[in-house]
Structure 1
Amino acid sequence: MSTVRRRVGATATAVALVPVFAGVAEAAAPVETASVVADWNAVAVSTLTGDTAKVVPENVMYLGFVHAAIYDAVVGLRPRYEPYRRHGHAPRGASATAAAAAAGHKILETYSPYAQGALDQALAASLAKVPDGAAKRAGIAYGERVARDLIAERAHDGRNAPVQFTRAQAPGVWRPTPPANLPMAVPWLGRVKPLLARSAAQFEPPAPPALTSRRYTRDFAEVKAMGSATSTARTAVQTATARFFSGNVFVQVNAALRDQAAKRGLGIADSARMFAATAMTTADVAILTWRSKLVRAYWRPITAIQLAGTDGNPATTADPAWTPLIVTPNYPDYVSGYNTVIAASTRALEHVVGPRLDLTLTSTAVPGEVRHYRGGASLRADVVDARIWLGIHFRTADTAARTLGIDLADWVARHYFQPRR
């Protein structure tokens, strides 16, 4: 269950937690600033959300690049965990703090050059915490090397390829939705090479329900009644939950992760691992989600309900005036992106820190609204319901998304970010 409160003034004091991997000491010299990882997460989120050339699904992917570089830069110098990629000899005694900042800076200036001035200022602020000298210089050089290696590796990964949504309009097939009737956003994302998964098809969700199936009929009736802008079936509590999860999931999740790093007092290597495991898993789940959207091309509730007379299902009734609680995003229904991001990030977090998350989320759509979750399962359940109550997804698109995110995160945990032997 979650608890809801309105933030007024200062945030409540967090309950102290036993640090993860307590008793395993990190290298003592040079002294590192563990918060550099969370600092560059905040810089990255701000930079990417401010990039008018990118939309949220792209931001999720690019943040994975940022934290891959930061992780490899840190564990190359503080080798507690297996690296994502190997980058040759790491200079002994170099500052991991400087390396993390330099790696994050290099990735962001490459993919969001519009923010060069702000990024340079953020780098200077991070490096000011590191004493001048050989360790600092070596850390900067190593972090930049790691970032350049990863940039080169991603040079021909399918980003911005000329992929178009070309499916002809038909019952069950997605089409641009009112009021803007925009084309599908970033269809190329479904063809990008994942960072961790073997391919974008590795965890392909099953086919969505046939339009004449009992499951589709149930999903249709539920979202029609509960997701309408004028619903009388949806309670005030359900509406509040729906609106809480109607904003920018990218900003919401990463703010919660920064809070986790601070609450748990993570050292620099553990912090780099936590952010990399969550960000890179979430980057992959965005790619896998977009592949499903592109391949399945399933229509949204607004189209299905307004055009129910064409679906061949006698148990569904059309309502040409039906509209959802919020505007429908401009991409297909199956599977839900918000749900895959929440499922993948929380499951990855559970693998890193354990099942008791003590997770605090702030809504980006309802000012001042905060919810607290003790574990990932209750959060994931709320998000499944919320996207139906918003009127923008069928239940099957949400539950299949949750399964996709969990399955991917479980697989990643078995193959990446392992302690070094």
Structure 2
Amino acid sequence: MRSARFQTHGLLASFALLLTSVSAVRADIVTEWNALALTTMRTSTEAPVMARDLAILHTSIYNASESIRGGYQTYGFGSYTAPTGGPAGASYEAAMIAAANTVMQSLYSGSSGAFTTLYNTQLSGIADGQAKTDGIAWGVSIANDMLAWRSGDGASTAGGTPYSPVGTIGYWAQTSASGALLPGWGTVGTFAIPGTGAYMSALPTGTLADYMKTDPYATDYNEVKNIGSFFSLTRTSDQTNQAYFWAAAGGTVKTTGMWNQVAATAASTAGLGVTDTARLFAAVNVAMADAGITAFATIYDNEFWRPETAIANGDADGNVNTDVDVAWAPLIAAPSFPEYVALGSTLSEAAAATLAFYLGDSMSFSLGGDINGDGSIDMTRNFTSFSQASDEAMMSGIYGGTQFGTSAIAGHDIGLSVADYVVNNNFALVPEPAGALLVLLGGALMLRRRRGLV
């Protein structure tokens, strides 16, 4: 559930967005690069890495625009100084295109031809001249500065960080041939939050041994044992569909990509212009990037076992209400990292809360899902709000037998907290005096109505 403070800020942000929205001409600059990025990443990039790379892409596009246009505050964090003072008269659209191409050519050089084609196609729609030339040069500069900053964030070594499973009751054990995924990702530099510590979560009741003796653990255990089993008799067909839809299997665009597809649909539905679309994508991906980093810091800090291992050892966990079943198997194979917290729930709420902040929660949309990773849509689900989709993603791991309920809820809470910080501390409107007055008056009116004063 969204906090009251978050909802109020979302109303004000949406009001400001309406005041400053421009025509949707050329909004495809952003969505076309995003779509090509997802196609490029889907076969080889894990969800938190994808979020990091998309955050680099979209903050570069955003800064290329706003450092010239000046409608929103440019993005900066830590040692990376927010760029200002772009060349007067430069085409901000050319700058956005050049920034996007530069980032993708650097991060995914193996797909260089596809990026070059899109770059040339988009630039062909801008008249030749000094404005275009200056915009291109500025966009390249913006992207290179961003890439230089992020080159030292620790992402390149996160996958190779040494990690050995603890190997005792309550702790994660590998259930596949794959080694532990991204054990160092929790130490990757964040994009907006001032460190992961304040956002991390821990299993309740002290040690893992203590926690496993509690009634809440037994409740989680028996819930997933019942509804998440491969042969469950209580899971409905729709719950099975939800489990497969949100599983984000190998070869798909993962949870990160699914929410970028939602953002593209939402931007189109709202009729956002290119600059507001760039802002929306930058915020969504920064929120997911930091949520993913926080999730992995939490995951490898707790090292909790997956349901599959827990249920096979239900006679050794110290809880009389957790019966062992050595033949139990989940509907969906668990990912190769510890269970707590649920990554999909964390990423989904980070994205959903950010989208709701800018566009309001109650937007209907459809989302296609690639279930088997072949690049085609196998299932389409319909939603009436961003929070509905996030809640469904949260529950899907339980239905799939890969997550406990406590983990799913904790992930949701982390995603919301990270999104709250991101949107309240970045990408703010730079109002002109008259615009600022209108925003304040509009916000005051909304608040009075919420309190029943008018």
TM over 0.5: yes
d(CA) in 1 for partners of 2:236, 2:289: 34
Task: Report SS of the residue matched to 1:386.
Answer: helix
Q: Supply the distance in 1 between the matched residues of 2:360 and 2:418 (Cα, whole angstroms).
A: 17
Alpha-carbon distance between aligned partners in 2 of 1:286 and 1:94, rounded to the nearest angstrom: 36
Unaligned runs of 5+ in 2: 1-13, 77-81, 206-210, 249-253, 432-454
Q: How far 1:89 moved relative to its partner?
A: 2.5
* Equivalent residue, structure 1, for 2:407: 397
Which of 51, 55, 63 pairs up with 1:64?
55
| 1:330 corresponds to | 336
Match of 1:89 among 85, 89, 94: 85
**Cα drift, residue 199 of structure 1:** 0.6
Q: Is the 8 A contact 1:87 1:149 kept in 2?
A: no
1:102 maps to which residue?
A: 98
CA deviation map 1:220-253 (0-9, x unaligned): 0000000000011212222222222223323322
CA-based RMSD: 2.0
Q: Is the 8 A contact 1:74 1:268 kept in 2?
A: no
CA distance in 2, matches of 1:34, 1:379: 25
Q: Is the 8 A contact 1:34 1:97 kept in 2?
A: no
* Structure 1 CA distance for aligned equivalents of residues 291 and 138 of structure 2: 29
**C-alpha deviation, 1:292, in angstroms:** 0.7
Consecutive unaligned residues in structure 1, runs of 5 or more: 1-17
Deviation digits for residues 325-357 of structure 1 (CA, Å, limit 9, x no counterpart): 011111111111111111000100111112223
Aligned residue type for 1:410: D
> Does the CA contact (< 8 Å) of 2:245 and 2:369 recur in 1?
yes
Deviation of residue 23 (structure 1)?
4.2
Which residue type is aligned with residue 294 of structure 1? Y
Between 218-227 and 326-335, report the one with greater CA deviation: 326-335
Residue of structure 2 equivalent to 1:279: 285
The number of equivalent residue pairs is 397
Give the SS at the match of 1:362: strand
Structure 2: how far apart are the matches of 1:202 and 1:117? 42
Contact 1:363/1:369 (CA < 8 Å) preserved in 2?
yes
Alignment of 1:350 onto 2:356: yes
- The CA distance in 2 between the partners of 1:237 and 1:66, in whole Å, is 36
CA contact (8 A) 2:95 2:139 kept: yes
Could you tell me whether the CA contact under 8 Å between 1:244 and 1:365 is conserved in 2? yes
Q: Comparing both structures, which one devotes a greater share of its residues to helix?
A: 2
Conserved in 2, the CA contact under 8 Å of 1:197 and 1:412?
Answer: yes
Letter in structure 2 aligned against 1:400: A
Contact 2:213 2:319 in 1 (8 A): yes
Match of 1:8 in 2: none
CA contact (8 A) 2:75 2:83 kept: no
Q: Structure 1: which 4+ aligned runs deviate by more than 4 Å?
A: none
Task: Show the counterpart of 2:34.
Answer: 41
1:203-214 pair list within 5 angstroms:
203-208=199-204, 210-214=211-215
Q: Does 1:297 align with 2:298?
A: no
Is residue 414 from structure 1 mapped to residue 446 from structure 2 by the alignment? no
CA displacement 1:373-395 (0-9 Å, x = unmatched): 22233222222221101000000
Match of 1:173 among 165, 171, 179: 171
- Judge conservation of contact 1:99–1:142 (CA < 8 Å) in 2: yes
Q: Match for residue 199 of structure 1?
A: 195
Separation in structure 2 between the aligned mates of residue 47 and residue 153 of structure 1, nearest angstrom: 23
Contact 1:160–1:188 under 8 Å retained in 2: no
Cα deviation, residue 407, structure 1? 0.9
Identity of matched residues, % = 28
Amino acid at match of 1:129: G
- 2:238 maps to which residue? 237
Q: Deviations over 1:203-230 (max 9, x none)?
A: 0113256111111100000000000000
In the alignment, residue 400 of structure 2 is paired with which amino acid? L
Which residue number corresponds to residue 379 of structure 2? 369
Counterpart amino acid of residue 174 in structure 2: P
User: With structure 1 as the length reference, what TM-score do the two structures score?
Assistant: 0.90
Q: Partner of 2:129 in structure 1?
A: 133
Separation in 2 of the partners of 1:206 and 1:272?
35
After superposition, the C-alpha distances for 1:28-52 in whole angstroms (9 at most, x for unaligned) are 9xx96222011111121112224x3
C-alpha change, 1:372 and 1:32, in structure 2 (3 Å) is closer
- The question of whether the paired residues in 1 share the 8 Å contact of 2:371 and 2:378 is answered with no
Q: Which residue of 2 aligns with 1:9?
A: none
Deviates further, 38-47 or 274-283: 38-47
Question: Using the alignment, how far apart are the partners of 2:83 and 2:51 within structure 1?
Answer: 24
Partner SS state of residue 380, structure 2: strand
> Does the aligned pair in 1 maintain the 2:74–2:83 contact within 8 Å?
no
SS at match of 1:21: helix
* Counterpart position of 2:391: 381
1:154 CA drift (Å): 1.3
Contact residue 20 and residue 266 of structure 1 kept, 8 A: no
Determine the C-alpha separation between the residues in 2 that align with 1:274 and 1:323. Answer: 40
State how far apart, in whole Å, the 1-side matches of 2:187 and 2:15 are.
39
Supply the distance in 2 between the matched residues of 1:80 and 1:87 (Cα, whole angstroms).
Answer: 13
